[in-house]
A and B are shown apart, each in its own frame.
Chain A
Amino acid sequence: MNCKRGFVAILGICIFLFPFVSVHAQQVSLSLSPPILEAVIKPGKSILIAYTVENSGDPLVLKPQVVSFVPQGNNGEMQLKQELSGPVRFQLDNSQIALEEPFFLKSKDSQQLLLRIRIPEGTPEGDYYYSLLVQSEPPPTTEGIGSTRATVKIGSPILLTVTRTGMLDLKGKITTFDVIPRLSFSLFGTKIQIVDSNDTIPAILTIYNQGKNAIKPQGTLNLRGNFGEKISYDVEPVNILAESERLVTATPSADIDCDTIPKKGLCNNQYSLLLQGFFIGLYTLSTTINFGEGSPLITANTNFIALPLRLLVALIIVIGIALLLLVKLKDRKTKPKDQTDSVTEE
């Protein structure tokens, strides 16, 4: 009897307590700093960089690794490789954590990763691109249901330039420099580009890096109007990796807030510059770019004509309607009055 009572009591306690044990989906929240590393190193030398990975989510098992990457697209995106390639050697100087080895990081905690980067003697001069990744382990499987389990990798690009002398191969060329007009046609071999006076005019500047080292463009985009008005925009010094192309933006006009702007179409593409205002007449957009000390100055320009097209169309429609009304009014006035009267009498 006592045994039965005891069993019932334990069962009751279990039933009472179990609902308070919370079961929730695992949240992964990671941060990694510094977000990018750029270094120029001589062969035979090494550097030590302290990264910090922070866990703001649930407790996690994490694994650090370094992989190579290649540039993808022309907006600074990267395609990560599955493995590490090239002569550069990486290791963690932490006493208890190594690359490719898992470690535990509890919630609201952080871990410093001391990454040593060594350039062996004899490493060919040039650029080498890697990314430090910290990867979470997937949660355990759940039997009986269709499910997907997620792993999270957070990365930090590492751009290494290996040089013996400090001399860099800085060569770039402008591949595209143009505005996106409303109308475009060729007249006697000259490209004519027409925009509406009230248009937001997107401009595109892309630069291809022909050299062996990453370049940072420095310079301006200048807009000059036919009444002498002039405005300059500074080019943002983004990295253009060796043998890759990148869209170069000018600050701050290409910084589009897609959450608030009414012209959502502008958010579907990336632009270097958005020219806003009221334009009338012939304009020249030019650019002057260099890539640092000793690099040549490169220039390009493009022209466009701004006309109040919408205003003209509206004016034509108004004039058309006005003429039509005038003609009808004239017709009504010239109709014989007696003819109208006779119809009425019938």
Chain B
Amino acid sequence: MNKKNKLFLGCSLFFVFLALPAQAIDMESGQYRIQFGNVSSGNSKESSSSYKMTSTLGQFAAGQFNSNGYVIKSGFEYVHTLYKFSFTVSNTTINLGELQPGTFSSGTTNLTVTYNGQGYQISTIAETPLKRISGSFIPNTTCDGSPSSCTLNTAQPWTSSNALGFGYSMTGQDIMSDFINATYFRPFPNRSASENPAVIMHNTNGGRKNRQSTMTFRANISAIQEAGTYQTVVNYIATPTY
């Protein structure tokens, strides 16, 4: 067999092996059993300044399979679309400092959500108004007041330092559409008054990573507000939509 024929035979065998179908295999030991296991023939992880690419070669039954009501994303590479539902609050103690009459006192925290598939919502509710142990409290803000008073689910501008109270605004991704800009505020719903939590972030589109918003807390007191330490507990409730 001359050199040319050997090369031809070698190439032919190589392509025949490539064409062999990949198959699932069952593996077991004394303690474990892997059903429908899959051994891929190769993989790689490439990157450039703008993109990252991972690849798997020779995987059995890889791809997206659809039927009425179901979607199966089969294959190692779909692992990149499987985000865990996670929620992060950057700071759980918001210091509003020493409250001064007629001056806005503010603090911020960042909220970050990663979700998969069906969407999510973040709601908030305060346990009580911002209050002292003695019982005196800072009332909910009505923002700049009539005719455009804010409510539990409708943000309105709060720019006047004569407007008193306690409230919050939202900026960033997936926030509710009534938070038009950073001057738009809402009062907190109050669990002690049997109010329902208010939705502050939501998205019903497919899975996304690291959706981030900033919540700004603001308080403004009157000159006759009783001096002391005012505090409350704010709950954030993160749930995937059904």
Contacts and interface: CB of A to CB of B under 8 A. Distances in A.
Contacts of A151: 92, 233-236
A211 to B, nearest CB: 16
A156 B92 CA distance: 22
Contacts of B229: 143-146
Contacts of B117: 35
A216 B234 CA distance: 35
Given A145-B229, A152-B236, A25 B202 contact: no
A124 interface: no
Contact of B237 (A80, A148, A239, A254): A80
Contact of A26 (B93, B96, B206, B234): B93
Contacts of A141: 231
Nearest to B176: A268
A232 interface: no
B84 interface: yes
Interface string A118-139: 0000000000010101001011
A8 to B, nearest CB: 35
- Counting contact residues on chain A (CB < 8 A from B), the size range is 35 or more
Interface string B226-242: 00011111111111111
A58 to B, nearest CB: 9
Contacts of A138: 92, 233
Contact of B231 (A71, A77, A148, A241): A148
B234 A148 contact: yes
Interface in A144-159: 144-157, 159
Interface string B93-123: 1111111000001010100101111110100
Contact of A30 (B86, B204, B205, B239): B86
Interface in B105-146: 105, 107, 109, 112, 114-119, 121, 126, 130
Given A76-B118, A146-B219, A255 B130 contact: no
A256 B205 contact: yes
A303 interface: no
Given A35-B85, A78-B239, A255-B206, A25 B197 contact: no
B241 A76 contact: yes
B239 A145 contact: no
Contacts of B174: 258
A210 interface: no
A19 to B, nearest CB: 20
Contact of B97 (A27, A29, A145): A145
Contact of A146 (B98, B126, B233, B239): B98
B230 A146 contact: yes
Contacts of B60: none
Interface residues of B, number: 59
B231 A29 contact: no
Given A150-B234, A156-B240, A239-B242, A32 B85 contact: yes
Best-surrounded residue of B92, B93, B173, B230 (most CB of chain A within 10 A): B92
B196 to A, nearest CB: 6
Nearest to A80: B237
A224 to B, nearest CB: 22
Given A153-B236, A255-B206, A142 B88 contact: no
Nearest to A217: B69
Interface string B62-78: 00001011100000000
Nearest to A214: B242
A76 B242 contact: yes
A292 interface: yes
B96 A147 contact: yes
Given A146-B130, A259-B173, A35 B92 contact: no
Contacts of A149: 92-94, 231-234
Contacts of A148: 93-94, 96, 107, 126, 130, 217, 231-234
Interface in A18-36: 25-33, 35-36
A91 interface: no
Given A146-B98, A147-B95, A148-B217, A80 B205 contact: no
Nearest to B96: A146
Nearest to B168: A148
A316 to B, nearest CB: 35
Contacts of A146: 95-99, 105, 130, 219, 229-231
A-B pairs with the 6 shortest C-beta distances?
A: A76-B241, A31-B86, A29-B88, A155-B239, A146-B96, A25-B91
16 contacts: A29-B86, A31-B85, A32-B84, A77-B241, A133-B237, A138-B92, A142-B93, A147-B93, A148-B107, A150-B93, A150-B235, A151-B233, A153-B235, A153-B237, A254-B205, A292-B69
Interface of B: 66, 68-70, 84-99, 105, 107, 109, 112, 114-119, 121, 126, 130, 173-174, 177, 196-197, 199, 202, 204-206, 217, 219, 229-242
